[in-house]
Every structure is written in C-alpha cells, then in structure tokens.
Structure 1
C-alpha cells in the first residue's frame, strides 16, 4: 500500500492512497482525514486503506493524476523525528572530514540524534540557504514511521511497530556542526528542516527487499543533474531498524507517527558514489590532500529516489533546488 498527503490549505493536509505506479491517487478522507489520524488508529483503518488501494489499482475507484507539486511530505509534521547513523562507513568518513575520531563503541552502540519535527519541507520545495558559509549538504536516507511503541521493546519484537517506510533528504549545515558538538550538547542549529519523498509505503510493498529490518535496494542521488551515488541501503546498514528501535526505546515509549531515520546511506565500494557531499569531500582529501567539491550553493539541485529491480520509483522523487534564504 502506498500513501501520501496532498496540500489542502491546512497544516496536515489530506490523506490519499496512491497507485503503485505513482500515476493516480484517490482521497482516503472517509477512512482517515490525515496521515497522523490513520497512524493513530492504524489497526482499524489499515485494512480499509488496503481495500481502497486495491480498488484504485483495479480501476473500480477512479483516480486523480498525480502532480507531485501538490504533495506534502507524507507527514507534514510529526511528533518526533529521530535520526540514526547506521552506516559505519559514513561515520568514519565524516568524522575524518572534521578531524574527529569515531566513537569507541562504533560497532556496538548506535548513534542517534533528535531533529526538528514541527516543520518538514515538501518533496519539491526549495531549500533556503541564508548563509553559504554554513556548508549546506544533502543526506539521502531511508526512514520508518512507527506506530505506538512501548518502552523496552526488543529488536526481535520491533517489526510489528513499523507501519510505513519513507525516503529522506536530511539537510545539514556541516560547518555549524563542530562548534555545536564542542559544547557536548548535540546538534541543533546545524540541522534545518528535513525533506521526505512524496509517498510512504508499507513494508510488504518491498517484498524480498525488506530484509530483517533493512531495505535491500540502491538509493540514488543526482546532483545538479548528474549521477552522484546509488549505494545499496541494505547490506552496509550495520544497525537494522529493529536494532535502532530497541536502542531508542530503552528508556521511553514513542507515540504513533514517530519517524526514525537510518542515517546517510553509505557503502565502502567507491564505485557506488555517495549520498552526501561530505563523504565525497573526505574521499577527495584522502586521495589528493585537499577538499575540491564545495558544499551546496544557490542554484544547485538534488534529486533522490529509490527504484526496485523492475524500475518502479517506490517513494517518488525528492527534487529540490537551493535558493537564497
């Protein structure tokens, strides 16, 4: 099942069901007015949404052509946005980029931070850049949307709490990070509004590509119209989403609508490219002794998508342009 949120003049938009080929949608307001409302009553409404999706696929229900510019991020705002860093190769490279050592518990204890969740950017919304010296970077990721998740849940029981999957651009101001972390109090100013691809899907839509809490498919990024990277999101994800859920739930419960990110998708195989500028810059520094690629500037564009083996664009495309803030 594929869901989305179209703009209707309200903060939370209108819930719609989307065809698998992304061509049409139909309103789901008779079932749940918004994505959050659906998540709040998921066990009751999911079967109804699935039935509506089946009718849309078969043509029993007529659809409206999809115009991605009309779509919000699937959750235009969320109760919580928690981002992990489950790809060790990414951690090692970006730490080197700012002359920092990886944590001693790199392989045993996941890294997570809590970002701003009250304002998300729509999938084709411009990225404002108030100051180029802040070092704007994109970060292509995968995320899950949780239902109500109790404190203390273990990885072995975590799957049932994952309701939806999404693709993410976790925008970052790289040059603001060192000073913030030097205060030993985490990210804040260095993390502007995050962007999500237009469609959220249920895990069963991935079939064999949903592997023990990992999405075993490439995540492709184009930068300024050219290929930038398509690392596989599956095998290199050191901590699965199940393990990340166990980690964050150690001391507290989470409400339906909480978003949990994978962190920047990263592979050791350099032929797969990267999912952020910081990694490419660090590889340049290792190879040549200097950074060559600048961070994003006004006018730059980024496009992020994930296709299955049949070429289907599962989540739709994040397609953004940097503008002066």
Structure 2
C-alpha cells in the first residue's frame, strides 16, 4: 500500500495504490492525510481498510493529477550540507552539527507540477532528497534509538533553490528556498514498515536526461534517526511534518561553470523504491 492524493491543486482527495497496482479512492472513509489523520491512528485504520478489501472504495479515474501525498504540513524542516561532497561544492565549511532551515509551506507542490522560476531569478537549482514524514508527535527530546518509531513514512522530495536569493541577498536561506512550487514531494508516501533501512537507498537526479546527481542515503553525515533526535531539541515535530534530509553532490551551483535551470528544462529525480518526481521549469 502507498498513500496518494489526487485531484486539482487545493482540492486533492486521499487514495491508495494497492499491491496489485490499482489506484483506489479512499475519500469515502478518510477526510485527508493531514495532521489529524496521523495523530488519531489513521495509518492503522487505513491499513485495516485495505486489508478488508477497501469496502466502498472506487477506482481513481485514469489520468488524474497527483498532488503531494500528504496535506500541507505545519512545517518543512530542511537539512543543509548533509552530504560531505555537497558540503564541499556548496562551500562555507563542513558542518559539525546539522544545519537547519525552513521552507515556507506555501511552496508545497505535487510530484509532477511545474516549477515556477520566480521573477528576478537567475540561479534556479535542484536538490533531490529523501523526505521523512512524522507520524507521532515528538515533544521534548526523543532518543535517537527511538526516533524512527515516530515516522509515518518516506517520500521523494526536491528542494528547489534560487541561489542568488539564498546566498547573495543577506539574511537566512529561507528567501531562496520558499518560492511557490519549490517543495514538490511524492509521488506517494511509502509507509515506514515498507522501508527496511532509510540509510540504504540510492537517490538520483536527471536534468534534460543528463545524469546530474547520484548518491546513497548512507552517505549522510547525519542520518534520519539522528536528525529527528536533534531537531526535537529545538521544536516539537507534529504528525505530518516533513524533514527534507539533504542532497548529494551534483547540483547546478557546484558545476564548472555553474549550470542553473532555465524555462523549458525537465528535472527528474527519484529515490530507490520510493518513486520519481518530474517537473518542467516555467517562467513566472
């Protein structure tokens, strides 16, 4: 079972992909995959509904748009420079603790939606990442050994960045990370029990068919369990919150000369076993 949401932007309905490949509308039983769903045992109820044969579930119409697989979260917590080679290509030193920053939730986007190059953008860049979705509230510091017990599942995430806004305009990175459409996630949410080890997955990115990024989540300097433990020192993590765990080397900024995205470019990125995203860059 995989969790999906389908329909027009802002009007998505919950659904599931079954093991036999069928896409089933779950909106007759579940309101949405949001904070309340995860907090009130929705994952367990959804699994039971699927095991019971999805009573009253109907097929999702072919060609339906996929939205992000969960409703817009309370926060998107991102990790900067979490792969050594990317930290080197980014510059500004190697972190000794996780680098935390936030993306505005208004950047939330579907797995195949266009990426909008904002007005004034000159250095639009891509970053494929493993996304961790929180399933149980983390309030107070959680032990690293217990951290993954709070995870609902995993998905593919692309952390789009406008590097000029991020690095050349002063202040925090959030300015270059939060433009509309800069946080696509999907194409589905894979439940935590279906991923034996989040630190043993290949992730990759192609631009116009050219292989740009190729890495392993095991190369993270700070793994998923440690990140949950670390972030919980500074804020509560609520059900449905997303942690974007960082990107391997190969971003446009790190190339010689740099190669930033232009309108018409096609970005495809994926994580082993979790699916693929595909976005077309359009001018804002």
TM-score normalized with structure 1 length: 0.78
Deviation, structure 1 residue 297: 0.6
Aligned to 2:212: 228
> How many Å separate the matches in 1 of 2:27 and 2:57?
14
1:304 aligned to which of 249, 269, 274: 269
User: Are the structure 2 counterparts of residues 12 and 245 from structure 1 closer, same or farther at C-alpha, using a change threshold of 3 Å?
Assistant: farther
1:278 lines up with 2:253 in the alignment: yes
Alignment counterpart, residue 295 of structure 1, candidates 236, 260, 264:
260
Does structure 1 residue 134 correspond to structure 2 residue 122?
A: yes
**Residue 53, structure 1, aligned to residue 50, structure 2:** yes
Matched position secondary structure for 2:155? strand
**CA deviation map 1:185-222 (0-9, x unaligned):** 41122112311122001122123xx1xxx341211222
Could you state the TM-score of these two structures normalised by the residue count of structure 2? Answer: 0.88
Counterpart Cα distance in 2 of 1:142 and 1:64: 27
- Say yes or no: does 1:64 pair with 2:64: no
CA contact (8 A) 2:25 2:57 kept: no
Quick check: 1:83–1:263 contact (8 Å CA) kept in 2?
Answer: yes
The match for 2:105 is 117
Deviation at 1:76, TM superposition (A): 4.2
User: Is 126-135 or 252-261 further displaced after alignment?
Assistant: 126-135
1:196 is aligned to 185
Matched ranges for 1:86-97 at <5 A:
86-95=82-91
SS at match of 2:202: coil
Deviations 1:242-276 (A, max 9, x none): 1111111113322211111111134xxxxxxx3x2
Q: Residues 154, 225 of structure 1: CA spacing in aligned structure 2 closer, same or farther, 3 A cutoff?
A: same
The whole-number CA distance in structure 1 between the counterparts of 2:199 and 2:61 is: 28
CA gap of 1:320–1:41, structure 2 versus 1, over 3 A, is: same
TM-superposed CA distance for 1:3, in Å, is 0.3
Match of 2:30 in 1: 32
Question: Is 1:144 aligned to residue 127 of structure 2?
Answer: no
In the alignment, what sits opposite 1:311? none
More helix by percentage: 1
- Whether the aligned pair in 2 keeps the contact of 1:76 and 1:119 (CA below 8 Å) is no
Structure 1 counterpart SS, 2:157 = strand
Question: Unaligned 5+ residue runs, structure 2?
Answer: none
Q: Which residue of 2 aligns with 1:15?
A: 14
Secondary structure at the aligned position of 2:50 is classed as helix
Q: Is the 8 Å Cα contact of residues 143 and 259 (structure 1) preserved in structure 2?
A: yes
Structure 1 unaligned regions, length at least 5: 96-100, 267-273, 285-290, 309-313
Contact kept? 1:76, 1:121, Cα under 8 Å: no
**CA distance in structure 1 between the partners assigned to 2:190 and 2:12 by the alignment:** 18
Q: Over residues 114-165 of structure 1, what are the superposed CA-to-partner deviations in whole Å (9 max), with x where a residue is unaligned? A: 1111341211111111346530001100011112111211212211111111
Q: CA deviation at 1:102?
A: 0.8
Distance 2:216 2:194 in 1: 18
Whole-Å separation in 2 of the counterparts to 1:133 and 1:60: 48
Q: Does 1:248 align with 2:231?
A: yes
2:2 equivalent in structure 1: 2
RMSD (Å) for aligned C-alpha atoms: 2.5
Equivalent residue number for residue 246 of structure 2: 263
Aligned length: 278
Misfit runs of 4+, over 6 Å:
59-62
Q: SS of 2:195's equivalent? A: helix
**Structure 2 equivalent of residue 80 of structure 1:** 75
The answer to whether the 8 Å contact 2:204/2:214 transfers is yes
